[in-house]
Structure 1
């Protein structure tokens, strides 16, 4: 047995999907009673169909059946035990299928980052050092502005192909959505697998202090003290020259980092002043002279607001490629909260602001009724069905909702006021000036949408998914963590972590035997785990380099 290698194939072509299904069925049928999930026998393990756990605990070595105890014990007849009837023992064909599965198909089944395809921390440090040392790419006086974002841990955890492309796109989009630079600038891949990306802080209007602020907020930041890291730290002038991209996308897309990076002030009035926009003055000018500097649309229903809503457009006085949108949102529809009764003297309870960055992408701000910045919109005013608590989160929720730019919304106020007997001629004229005809308003929205989508096209081709990529990465980052993902984030192989798991805190012991832990639990234990495994220096480490 163990030399046919052709189970489930057609000619010499191995169909790993078929082989894997047959192998797992055999393991479940012939071994699952004692070694399956929740089995009641006195067996030593209960994860015979959990491929990750089999690898992590040394039962299977992908590519090497003869070094896989699961296979050798079945092939020798040692397992199942002698008292098991012959009809409950695996056949020779089934054992051959297990050989093929281990030798050829597990690596295919698990994707990238296995065996020789695993990218070590030493590899990463070496590639970054070689990149920053290449004077044809980076002059010596530019090195201090170079930093890196990495997706390597995702690759090592089996995320590759189109799935990894979503993460790349989310990184490219977010970093340019946090930029005050005049154009879209894409991070540069420095490795063949495109898991490490170089940025120049200056391309995004960032400085070295801002990078350190991001590092300080990052519970996954590690200072490496290996020799390979010395030049990299020396050239860049920082102890942490690279950070993981999925953490950055998940956290840089929402407060407090979103506000800190974009320097969004504490009130909309400060923001408007920085743009040279005087909203009240613009409104009065539009009412008096109809100069087309303000355009409004009011309506009963929208996808976000619980009640009626009004959106308002202003142009930047000194930038013809940027506009400023302000919504007025309400906690009810009665009294002065009723747009259709008070189109000129309403009293809003909050609002959303959308404005173009210099590169054409959009940035966002949420405010309360007094115009003060808030992190989340109250659920009695606005809701986001994508969030578990339904709350609109500034940045993240806005990116999800406005994935294609401005959302077209027809005005209902102008016609209502025009046909009503409740308004005098001056009021009707004021509303007419502020609320353009439907076609004119839509033309403005189309212009603004195109400005955004043109910039978005420079980010790269969007991987077609139902969800906006930033939102998708945010949700994926919050999923439970298994042993392979934990090992990848720590920068070690799955089997290495499995053999050392006893050194880690009690909260992480559930990772063995196919278990998982909540993302929050893993995050809380990460820094100490790095210290316990002597992988690098974090805030949790004691000694001269730790706890900085």
Structure 2
């Protein structure tokens, strides 16, 4: 999207800015080390030598090279980009967040210890997918070449705190491909192996600096002195926009030097991730005599850009709106069922500098998460860390607040209907349904399979939208999706109906021609379309769940998740429901956030259908940021790959039988669903955009030479706040 900004002011409103992200709307060409120059017309200012024809927004055209036209580029030397590029075994590269430069540890010692500890577990249990000899699904940490496997495993290990290593977390929290007796056993085996590996490597790591020693208490009076000294340097015209935040509580509670680095990155990442139209990454500025404790930030750097929004809409749950639950907005005004028609953003075509929008957003943040999802009452704001009398906000409280789903929806100015967001972002739909690249993945984070697509935007960016459906009750004693597939009780509609049928949603001007909303499993109000084979849903007889696809209009049993690239290179997120309407959360019988159900049994976490777990829902904002720690998560286009390679496509009446022998339909499926060899480089392209932006945060906010964080920093800081302030767990918390 274009910016109508004076050239002299594009950088930022105050110190702490990071320069523009390259020559185009994508952060390529940074310092001449990154491939392409953005906007899909890269002429190779970096190593990729891209000469894209504009169809691929990363400058590489529709080919297989993710870094530009021609031969793949080479990784930047010594982690200068702030992220890692490793060979994918197919002539290209995979992009990883962690990069350990030569000389930062004893690599030979690490390789030897890796081969003796973690590597045997990976070979035995992960090489079926994560090896160049098989599927080559990144990360390739189980490759038959131990040196390549070692390089990938280094991106998933925390030598200083092994329990936080992704290799361990994938078993203990995500329940991914667990081996042994169960996930608890797999977690224990992997943790023991990683600890043994770390024991050999940790002594060679550089020390993380800590300007204020552990155990030395930082008082509120000291925090106030730092703030007052800095305030004396602030111009009167800027004072109302300048805010201060402090990490002294995190320090005083015993955080390690590495955890303080995580919190610093989490602070900046949360601010920049909610900067809806800001053009560049801007880091808060240390005002505590380089102690890394108290930071100043200017609200205009994040929210001083606008597209004509003059009032922030209610950011809470559509359930509260549509079902008449008690709710008021952050101003204390009653929210009625007509709010979705009364509140409609009318975005301007261009982004403009607008300090008044920064004031509006800050007012919403200060109100707290009072619009979150609730069954019967207004939520408390949960703003204990806003210390107005002392002139600062405790850092974890700030990170927690801006990522609450209702706050996030409001300050990101996300409209009520997905079509309006797509119009504002300029999602390209010129070729009808062929405008999108579709995927179906059998095993995602969803309860059943997932259908999703990637679209391009007129700014040269990307837009991903998923389709996840209620799978409905199963017959007999079937409890898992795998058992259902084995018995032919296939509910996921896109195996049997791979050609998406776009239909009208409700509100927001959504029509079938808008290519925004897809027929899934109809859930009509007090009626059953032909072929529905319906039954009462989990909430009783008010709605009917269709067991199988009908392709009809109306309310759908679906949830959609959307990810798009922000102008500063980070990602925006939104959740949508059965009307194509904006939501704050996704039901746990569609998708689950394993971090908030980590204490549930394995069977509940992995595959059981229905509301098998506690109704702690996946939330807009925090859950999305936490899950997408490295940007776009990877996936395979199973529908296309299995079609090409005679793989395990679901068969039977509700599988692929109706079209698999029809050459015209098969040809259309192949046209709409590119193989994984095409879509995986697309994902790496989009990850690169994101990780380039995150690297600009890590370079300034991390103290010491190791510019990596080994956990998602925003979610770490959020969870610290929840524990410190003892905020009650609710649907929106």
Give me the TM-score of the superposition, normalised by structure 1. 0.58
Deviation at 1:268, TM superposition (A): 1.2
Instruction: Name which of 439, 442, 447 aligns with 2:680.
Output: 442
Equivalent position of 1:383 in the other structure: 592
2-structure distance, mates of 1:415, 1:159: 46
Equivalent position of 1:132 in the other structure: 231
SS in 1 for 2:629: coil
Equivalent position of 1:477 in the other structure: 721
| Contact 2:448 2:492 (8 Å CA) reproduced | no
Unaligned runs of 5+ in 1: 1-107, 230-240, 287-292, 482-517, 522-548
SS in 2 for 1:339: helix
> Are 1:186 and 2:292 an aligned pair?
no
> Are 1:266 and 2:416 an aligned pair?
yes
Give the number of the structure whose alpha-carbon radius of gyration is greater.
1
| Contact 1:417 1:431 (8 Å CA) reproduced | no
Equivalent position of 1:289 in the other structure: none
Instruction: Name which of 149, 156, 179 aligns with 2:245.
Output: 149
Deviates more, 1:417-426 or 1:450-459: 417-426
Q: Once the two structures are superposed, what CA deviation does each residue of 1:224-248 show, in whole Å capped at 9, x if it has no partner?
A: 2xxxx7xxxxxxxxxxx53111012
Q: Once the two structures are superposed, what CA deviation does each residue of 1:435-487 show, in whole Å capped at 9, x if it has no partner?
A: 11321111111111111111111110577665312222222222266xxxxxx
Instruction: Name which of 633, 639, 655 aligns with 1:407.
Output: 633
SS in 1 for 2:243: strand
> What does 1:331-410 correspond to in 2, within 5 Å?
331-332=470-471, 337-344=492-499, 345=501, 347=520, 349-388=558-597, 389=614, 391-410=617-636
1-structure distance, mates of 2:465, 2:677: 20
> What does 1:66-215 correspond to in 2, within 5 Å?
112=214, 114=216, 117-121=217-221, 123-134=222-233, 138-159=234-255, 161-179=257-275, 180-192=277-289, 193-206=291-304, 207-215=358-366
> What does 1:264-343 correspond to in 2, within 5 Å?
264-277=414-427, 282-284=431-433, 286=434, 293-302=435-444, 304-317=445-458, 319-320=459-460, 322-332=461-471, 337-343=492-498
| Contact 2:631 2:686 (8 Å CA) reproduced | yes
Q: Once the two structures are superposed, what CA deviation does each residue of 1:306-344 show, in whole Å capped at 9, x if it has no partner?
A: 101112011111x12x21100111222867732110111
SS in 2 for 1:478: helix
Query: Aligned residue pairs: how many?
Result: 345
Q: 1:148 to 1:480 in 2, by over 3 A?
A: closer
> Are 1:220 and 2:385 an aligned pair?
yes
Task: Provide the alpha-carbon RMSD of the alignment.
Answer: 2.8
2-structure distance, mates of 1:417, 1:173: 41
SS in 2 for 1:265: coil
Q: 1:268 to 1:404 in 2, by over 3 A?
A: same
2-structure distance, mates of 1:381, 1:421: 26
| Contact 2:455 2:463 (8 Å CA) reproduced | yes
SS in 1 for 2:296: strand
2-structure distance, mates of 1:373, 1:275: 16
2-structure distance, mates of 1:243, 1:263: 23
Q: Once the two structures are superposed, what CA deviation does each residue of 1:6-26 show, in whole Å capped at 9, x if it has no partner?
A: xxxxxxxxxxxxxxxxxxxxx
Q: Which has the higher helix share?
A: 1
1-structure distance, mates of 2:265, 2:232: 27
2-structure distance, mates of 1:370, 1:519: 32
| Contact 1:268 1:372 (8 Å CA) reproduced | yes
| Contact 2:365 2:401 (8 Å CA) reproduced | no
> What does 1:508-519 correspond to in 2, within 5 Å?
518-519=726-727
